[in-house]
Amino acid sequence: MPAVEALCYGAQRYQNRTVDMGWPVASLLGGKSRGARVSEPVASTLPKETSTKRALAFVYVGYSFRYLYLLVLIPFYGRVLGAAVYGRLVAAMALFQAVWLIAEYGFPLSGARDIAVSDGPRRAVLYGQHMSGRLTMSALALLVGVGGTYLSPVLRQVPLMGILATFVGLVASFNLGWYFTGIQRFRTSVSMEVLGFALNLPLILFFVRGPQDDWKVMAALLASSGVCTIVAHATALASMDRAAIRWGGAWQLIRGSTALFISRGLGMLLASASTYLISLLTSATELGLYGAAERLISAGLSLLQPTNQVLVSKVSRHVGSESTSDRAFTVIRIAAVCLTGLGISMLLGTELLGQFIVPLILGHEFAAAVPMVKALAITLPFPFTAINSVIISYVLIPFRFDRFVPMVSAISGAITLGLVVLLGRPYGGMGVVYARVVGEIVTLILLCGVLRKTQLSKRILAGSDLPRGVAETEVAQKSSP
């Protein structure tokens, strides 16, 4: 599984046609079908669907351990390392996440989507293709890691931090979370998470005694990530037709996953790049303050991820069946309401309690991070990060309109990165905060435009079929490549 620290740290999709997910989007919208339904032999071999409530329960158990992990380590880092050394650790984490995202590209999303409607032999083929894809992308990721280490003045002081971060990212990119999610084995996924916590937390608490031990954090992450990845692959291979594994198809997978990477992976990559850019533009202490603020907000944002992990495959399955297509829109509406409500609750809690909680958790040295925490919290509620996640994960990807998302991500990403460069030096961490908030707003505006263009918004909001006649023709034309 991915390194635990990466999942806690992250703030967070070209149309893949290698596997036809049953009934195409046009037929669900009332238009002419452009594909074939999932065949009965394949459908009969698909894993029995786990109930949504049960799946969510399993995933949230894993996340409860994650928050216990955070409750221990965030104060530990702040008080043991101090702001300046913590800033160096933040820079290493940002580099590690960038390497991880580049190496795994957009593969997890396309993999979970495709494997959800694949039989046993096809799963083995997808496994081999995904491993080949990651090996191919690892060369580029390695160059990014080495180059990033020596370009950053903060990391250049302790090159070992950057080198370890690079290898942690490479190992984490070979996680099998996408595989277990796609075949509905959420309990296995949670078990790997818990194993990571059990290995990583004691190593850090035992070996990290002061500011001089910051590199040991990355060493512990490398060890725990390596063990979890090996166990995950052994578990998957034990239940797989290993004779059906085929190594190759990497470039086909890369081409098919480019849009997915640009949409979601690029957004996370830009978040890491924003943090890394601060290490080029400001002091380690300022980077530590911003990193602490982002870490706390990322803990809030990660509350959205268990639902994403479960419901993306649920929506994809409903989309792939004519008889259950209406359920997909029901799931989308419920997710939009619940995630938006959760985001609003987190915003109110942050604004009311942030000035007390931040010094309490991290120490008074981090009191200057309170304004950053409150400003970043604006991206939590409706209509920003939560609703953006619903539109991308539950609508555009399962309905295979993800070809629109690269344009949205490229525009909002360019604006965000430009503002980071423009505001980073004069305003430090707060400049990056303002840039990210603006980026989320731009993303929402553009995504709403896509929903209107495809007329999916009518179906989602109304809960009924689109008007017949002219609307059908328009949808079919607009959804054509």
Please give the pLDDT value at position 3: 40
Q: Is the peptide bond before 481 cis (omega within 30 degrees of 0)?
A: no
Please give the pLDDT value at position 321: 59
For 184, which DSSP code? Answer: T
Cβ 398 vs Cβ 113: under 8 Å: yes
Length of the chain: 481
**Residue written as tokens 């494997």?**
115
CA 118 from chain center: how many Å? Answer: 23
Cβ 15 vs Cβ 106: under 8 Å: no
Q: Is 37 left (phi over 0), alpha (psi -120 to 50) or beta?
A: beta
Tokens representing 471 are 């609307």
As a whole number of angstroms, the distance between CA 177 and CA 179 comes to: 5
**pLDDT in tens for each of the 481 residues of the chain?**
444 444 343 333 322 322 222 323 333 333 333 333 344 444 444 445 555 566 666 666 666 777 677 778 888 888 898 888 888 998 999 899 889 989 988 788 888 878 877 777 888 888 999 999 999 999 999 999 999 999 988 898 899 999 999 999 999 999 888 888 778 787 787 788 788 888 999 999 999 999 999 999 999 999 999 999 999 999 989 888 888 788 888 888 888 888 777 766 666 776 677 778 778 877 788 888 888 887 777 777 766 666 666 666 666 666 655 666 667 777 777 777 777 777 788 888 888 888 888 888 888 888 888 888 888 887 655 447 767 777 777 777 777 777 787 788 778 888 888 888 888 778 877 888 888 888 888 888 898 888 888 877 777 776 544 433 333 344 444 444 4
For residue 211, which of 369, 68, 365, 357 has the smallest C-alpha distance? 365
Q: How many Cα atoms are found within 13 Å in the side-chain-facing hemisphere of 83?
A: 16
Please give the pLDDT value at position 311: 64
Please give the pLDDT value at position 322: 61
As a whole number of angstroms, the distance between CA 300 and CA 316 comes to: 26
